[in-house]
Chains A and B, each alone.
Chain A
Amino acid sequence: MTAELFIQQLINAISLGSLYALLALGLAIVYGVLKVLNFAHGDLVAVTGYIMWFFWMKYEIPFAFAVIAGILGATGISILTELIAFRPLRKASYAVKLISSLAVSIIIQNLIRMFIDPRPRGLRIPAVFDKVITVGSFHIGALSIITLLISLTAMGILLYFLLRTRWGLALRAAAVDFEVTRLVGVPANRTISLAFAISGLLAGIGGALWVIRTGGIAPAMGLNPIIKAFVSNVIGGLGSLTGAVVGGLIFGFFDIFFKAFLPGGARPFVDAFALTAVVIILFFKPQGIMFKKEEKLK
């Protein structure tokens, strides 16, 4: 294990971690206002991927536009799911909301299977993403750098929005206490739709990066992203945006480093190890890393 290899893996880990963080953030924004983890968030990645496929592979529209179309599509579908499934259930219990998000997820997946194709498809990824940049004796993939840059930019813009705009303030207030926020006059419906829009946007960006990374699409491809996002949120601490980012980075680290350092025979068990590590973290910090084991009046 040379220092160079370590640093290369470190960069990979930060890059992957930032992707997870992006996906986790999208989930956390909706969690802030609805107090439930939206299972269908992962399927927005699939939506992005399929739109990208249509624009790029079928109609041969330039890749950048395909990506933008995908992101817009994810945003739109996200808002749509809120209108159809989550608005009628706003007063429902946590378990009901969670299960209904699961139902929405299955519906999206099967609509894709039904109207497009149940089989997986590949995407030809533009060559620019395969480039490897050499700095001294370090070899860094262009994909890693691009992922990192885009994720950081997106998170930066989000941060600006949350901290410096009125609607950002409304979202933050709603995350702390929705009822009170409504009482002071912030419209509930628009706030929640905004949350879903931002969430969809982040899912679209993360989804595009995901598809570029994996080069393929399939109806059930949202399962992996949602697991990463879910777990990142829980490790970091539900209800904390910083926690989502921290959790994403940690989980990214686990994935890369377990894969890199596990002996060959144990390689297939990477996910098992990563998840066991997660459970261990949760054992000591049941409320996530960002929260102390506080007295909470439930």
Chain B
Amino acid sequence: MQASVYLDRGTFFHRLDPRAKLAGLVAFFVIALAFNHPGYAAGAWAAVLVAGAASRSLINLWRMRGLLGLLFVFAAVLWPFFAKGPTPLLHLGPISASRESLLYGLAVGLRLSAMVAAGMVFMSTTMVEEFAHGLRRLGLPYAVSFALAAAVRLVPTFLGSSAAVVEAQKSRGLDLESGHLFARLRKHIPVLVPVLVTAIRSTDLTAMALESKGFGAHHQRSYYLELRMRIADWVWVALALGGAGAAVYARLHGWGEVLPRL
């Protein structure tokens, strides 16, 4: 079972300070959202693929192709009917789509999926603890960043126990596949309850384990992970800010626009 998203590959992306990477990610979101022309959105995707290749994390993108594909299809199919454009093309009863809105739909599909993919590249190259440390250095209280890191660590455990519960109940004749939606939802109770109870029980144990290792001592805590912004990190941040600024500027001057909206 895929235990974690992080892939320990030691590439340039892995060595970047998580704060710099975060700046880069946010900048990428700004750039992607700045434009709504499918060509530009495709460009964003190209950038993500390059980053994925450079960080050797394309395998994770492949693994989530289902989700990415779904995002793209939903946006590309629905948005044309909700965005209004000057050149009408299709009519389905009261709703219509225009040439512009079709392009718009494509762009939204591409940029949404590109943003999610960029997030995945970020997670593939950043250890959760590094990310949590980065947030902490940016001002987030330690307890919060710890909770975040622990939550991510617990996801595979949680999934594992869910899978075990599903198997146990299936072995007693629980049929999760048949029946209409509400019946099927109700049938998940025998799965939900054991999973929640197990989670609650283990929370109690985890709290004890934490205390037993000195968590919550009042004096200053030290940190084994060291985060230092190096030249490369500052350059990256500068590029990120520059790129985001340039994108906003370009859009304000009419570039990459198919419809006059976000």
Whether A and B are associated in the same complex: the answer reads no
Residues of A near any B CB (own CB < 8 A): none
| Interface residues in chain B, defined as those with a beta carbon under 8 Å from any beta carbon in chain A | none
